[in-house]
Amino acid sequence: MTLTQVSCSNCSLDNICLPRGLSQTEIDNISKVVKARKTLQRGDFIYREGDHFKGILAIKSGSAKLVANDNHGNEHILNILLPGELLGFDGLSREKHGCAAIALETMTFCILPADSMDQLFQNLPGLTRELFRHSGEKMLEDKNQLVLSKRPAEERLAYFLISLSERLKRRGFSSSEFKLSLTRQEIGNHLGLALETVSRLLKKFQDDELIEVQNRFIKIKNLGLLKNLLQPLV
Amino acid sequence: MTLTQVSCSNCSLDNICLPRGLSQTEIDNISKVVKARKTLQRGDFIYREGDHFKGILAIKSGSAKLVANDNHGNEHILNILLPGELLGFDGLSREKHGCAAIALETMTFCILPADSMDQLFQNLPGLTRELFRHSGEKMLEDKNQLVLSKRPAEERLAYFLISLSERLKRRGFSSSEFKLSLTRQEIGNHLGLALETVSRLLKKFQDDELIEVQNRFIKIKNLGLLKNLLQPLV
DNA sequence: CGTATTATTGACTCCATTCAAAGATAGTGG
DNA sequence: CCACTATCTTTGAATGGAGTCAATAATACG
């Protein structure tokens, strides 16, 4: 993979990515060390479990999944990452990645290289705080997922759809219509459900006129009712 | 609660707490801002959900639980914290705590105050890295829990016992005999199981001579066999 | 010593899984 | 462009693991 210099100040993600809330000088400083990698295709590894930590990544376009493997060869999809979101934190503590990141579709991303991070900590306390903020945010999401994992199948799937919708909205995409770049298998894996259960529930949601499903395209028809399904959460 | 000045350099937790791997000068710098709070009792709140973030805490003695509440009044125990472990990260991103922390038994802790953190980031990149390391560590644990939440009851309980044992060992406590400061209810809540299931499984583990249970005292008799139960994990 | 909380044990029920088979979709090469 | 294949999705029927309900026993606590 080749690296190219990027400019954060004219990036289309400027106010949803790292620099959010930083001064122009600070952004210029970041620009100096941020690199962009070229395009990946569905199934390509962004990094593998055990890979040396090379930095925090920001998704510019496309999406990715974080995957942990147990020693029976089962994949566990821990997280889905959308444009403007950061990944790589799983490599922060041990210099090695604790799980793999895999492209779900054609995607591009930027890198905040590990070797310049210490220097950034010293020069840009604002960035440091922002990174902590982001990592705290990720932890809260994990907590939510953990609470969710104890809830019945219907709630899990409803929450999954709502959460995707809200995250897409936050990034300026349509929150009511989107394409899932995941198979039923992958959704089920992520939520701890059998793929058949996912299929049945999507059908049920459609029958109840909460959503419209066309293969991997989802149209949310009644967000209110969908949210009612997870009354007990949040 | 009253705060008192502490010295990190002669703390009994010196090499398992924050300062691990920092220079003497750096430790002295931390000492200047770290405060200690007085003793809490079982059931006391360390902080509540929604409380303003006041800093990262380090447990000196005793244990605590992190609890999230859904809006039906159900508690969800997200994590158990042991001596030498850090908490408070859930308040880092939004300046407000995302969950509550409650003492499980008599306990004491130190505080790295929020208002001195920016200053520390600038002066002590080593500490910043250490904090990131710790927060990354916590995220890996969360990932493990997430993977675990999809596994059958037996594996979840086995993993819970093994994980406690290993964490206690790392901190210099006995890894084969310890007191659970949790009720069956709380264990079940944490693992997403009914309290009856926890009771039945502890009995089963005892019948299989993996452990010895005496109320809340646990003695691990055959760690190897216990670990076999979770072949598929880690 | 008596009361409240916590733990054990059994019987029954149900949600989600597994197994199985058929149908739809996407991608490939002739 | 169509046929062919691999992959993914839907749907039904049967099974089982863990939950719920209920009653008793043990422990902790004032």
CA nearest to A89 within chain B = B136
Provide the mean pLDDT of chain B.
87
Choose from A6-20, A187-201, B132-146 the range with maximum mean pLDDT. Answer: A187-201
In this complex, do A232 and B94 lie within 8 Å of one another by their Cβ atoms? no
Kindly state whether B137 is in contact with chain A, defined as any CB-CB distance less than 8 angstroms.
Answer: yes
Q: Band of the pLDDT at B234, cuts 50, 70, 90?
A: very low
Q: Which whole number is the average pLDDT over A20-42?
A: 82
CA dihedral B63, B65, B66, B68 (to 10 degrees): -160
CB contact under 8 A, A89 and B146: no
List pLDDT tens digits, range A115-172: 888 787 778 777 777 777 778 788 888 888 888 899 999 999 999 999 999 999 988 8
Q: What CATH architecture is B149-227? A: Orthogonal Bundle (1.10)
A231 touches chain B (CB under 8 A): yes
CA A216 / C1′ D7 distance in Å: 14
Which secondary structure element, helix H or strand E, spans residue B119, and what is its range?
Answer: helix B117-123
Tokens of A155: 């709630």
Question: Domain A3-133 is of which CATH architecture?
Answer: Sandwich (2.60)
Report how far residue B220's alpha carbon sits from residue B234's, in angstroms, rounded to the nearest whole number.
Answer: 20
Element housing B99 (H / E): none
Query: Which tokens go with A49?
Result: 């479990």
The predicted model scores a pTM of 0.86
**According to the model, what pLDDT value does residue B119 have?**
80
Please provide the size of chain B in residues: 234
Q: Mutate one of A131, A140, A155 to test the B interface: name it (highest B CB count within 10 A).
A: A140
Q: Which residues pair with A68 in a beta bridge?
A: A76
Q: What is the separation of C-alpha A33 from the centre of its chain, rounded to a whole number of angstroms?
A: 23
**CA distances (Å), origin A179, targets A76, A208, B221:** 21, 20, 52
**What is the distance in angstroms between the Cα of B194 and the nearest Cα belonging to chain A?**
11
A234 → closest Cβ in B71, B93, B94: B71
Task: Note the pLDDT of residue A194.
Answer: 97
Tell me the DSSP string of A132-191.
HHHHHHHHHHHHHHHHHTTS-HHHHHHHHHHHHHHHHHHTTS-SSEEE--S-HHHHHHHH
The predicted model gives A191-201 an average pLDDT of 97
A:B CB pairs within 8 Å: 140
From the CA atom positions of chain B, what is the Rg in Å? 18
Phi, psi (degrees; rounded to nearest 5) at A24: -60, -45
pLDDT tens profile B113-130: 888 887 877 787 777 777
Across the interface, of A91, A98, A232, the residue whose CB is closest to B70 is A232
The CA distances from residue B110 to A81, B45, B48, B102, in Å, are 35, 15, 17, 15
CA distance B57 to B26: 18
Contact at 8 Å (CB) between B112 and B8? no
Predicted local distance difference test score (pLDDT) of residue A3: 66
Tell whether the model's pLDDT for residue A173 goes beyond 70.
Answer: yes
Please give the average per-residue pLDDT across B127-144, as a whole number: 80
For chain B, give every domain's residue range.
3-133, 149-227
CB neighbours (10 Å) of residue A100?
A: 21
Q: Is the model more confident about B7 or about A85?
A: A85
Q: What is the pLDDT confidence band of residue B182, given thresholds at 50, 70 and 90?
A: very high
Is the pLDDT higher at A221 or at B131? A221
Angle of helix B153-170 relative to helix B195-207, nearest 10 degrees, comes to: 70
B149-227 has the same fold as B3-133 = no
Q: What is the pLDDT of residue A2?
A: 57
Centre a 10 Å sphere on the Cβ of residue B83 and count the other Cβ atoms it contains: 23
DSSP code for A53: P
Q: Does residue A29 have a pLDDT over 90?
A: no
Q: Any CB–CB contact under 8 A between B150 and chain A?
A: yes
